[in-house]
A and B are shown apart, each in its own frame.
Chain A
Amino acid sequence: MTEHAIIPEVANPPVVFTQDEIGWTPWLQPLAEDDLTERHLKGLVEAARAKSPYFRLLVRDPEVLEARTKTDKDIFYNTRSGLPRAERELAATAASRYNGCIFCASVHSRFASHHSKRGKDVQTLLDDGVEADLGERWNAIVAASVALTATPPAFGEDHIAKLAAAGLDELEIADVIHGAAFFNWANRLMLSLGEPTPAS
């Protein structure tokens, strides 16, 4: 049987970068919740993710999803040392803004705002783009994330020098690198397997 892509009818789709809680709908059929086996549940890592059509689509390759999810969680949530969570989310937001992933940018700009209490600056990044002036430290993080996101990557020694001048040590710079690099994984999946839907 030939399988078909889903072409959803999305009324009032999000067409600007926003911190609102927008949704996402897939272009390929996710697995049904009732069809998930032990192997799939292991791939989802958290049982609650079975509610998400995005993860029920990705769980068609459970081993990759499991490793990807655990990579994601450690890069963003392991904050006992290194870069504060807010600035990891800033790197994710900058990569998403530059690649043009409205959905990814909405989620991670909310996290960046929540953890930094600098919602206005985050919104300026969404509204004005990656050239916005957010102060030395954030400018250095955004510029490094954007340079790493370019294809081919344009990340250079000057980016490292500016991060160091803004007070980041090597572990923190490595955290910026991982945060931006990870969103070059996430943006590609979100943008190519479905589309954003309006906030409910």
Chain B
Amino acid sequence: MTLTSPDIIDLLAGITAGSALDRIRAQRPETREQAQKSYLSLFQPEDFGDVSEVERHAIASFVAGLHRQADIYEFYTNPIEEGGANRWLIEVLKAEIGAGRATGPYGNYPIGPLNAENAPGPTYRVSEASRQAIGRKLSAALEHAHLLVFHLRDANPQALQALLDAGWTTNGIVTLSQLVSFVAFQIRVIAGLSLLSTASKRAAA
């Protein structure tokens, strides 16, 4: 399984074998390998546990869409699209990404001097029509993912209770939290390295 998976960060950052950025990444082989293993353990685990394969790809697609990263969004929606029966899910995700767009980070600090830095922003809820279509478990995950993407400092135990009430287990919430947070990392490595790659090619030209 792992043998057939290309390095996802290289793939999505456009880093080709022998390029300057390939040589930079080769100096950090452990980072490269473990970032890939993080991806594989979230999206191709031996046991999907309490979070299904489709749920994982749907949540990652939503996170990439909120970050307005078209290539990464497509990368995560492709496996959903290939399972033709779920094409309706892509339509729901597109609508919800459109409704959830914002600029972060925003949110409030605990009561104290940092309240001067509180920054307002939207609290996203899945539309009623979408909730009907995707059910309360995935809806709760998208709402939590939006909180984690844009206004992480507003997080509180009630947000976790909402997930538990919607059918998430404690183990499932840990996986969900890792998945959203990993994709936030992966997106930034890809965005950063692809820009560095462009700058490097220009300097060499």
Contacts and interface: CB of A to CB of B under 8 A. Distances in A.
Given A60-B170, A189-B181, A181 B189 contact: yes
By secondary structure, the B interface counts as helix
Contacts, number: 207
A61 B149 CA distance: 21
Interface residues of B, number: 75
B24 A174 contact: yes
Contacts of B191: 148, 153, 155
Given A3-B169, A148-B191, A152-B68, A99 B152 contact: yes
B175 A61 contact: yes
B147 interface: yes
B188 interface: yes
Interface residues of A, number: 66
Interface string A165-200: 000001101100110111011111101110000000
Interface in A56-102: 57-58, 60-61, 63-68, 70-71, 73-75, 78, 81-82, 98-101
Interface string B97-118: 0000011110101111110010
A2 B164 contact: yes
A7 B114 CA distance: 22
Interface of B: 20-21, 24-25, 27-28, 30-31, 34-35, 37-38, 40-42, 45-46, 49, 66-69, 102-105, 107, 109-114, 117, 144, 147-150, 152-153, 155-161, 164-165, 169-171, 173-175, 177-178, 180-182, 184-189, 191-193, 195-196, 198-200
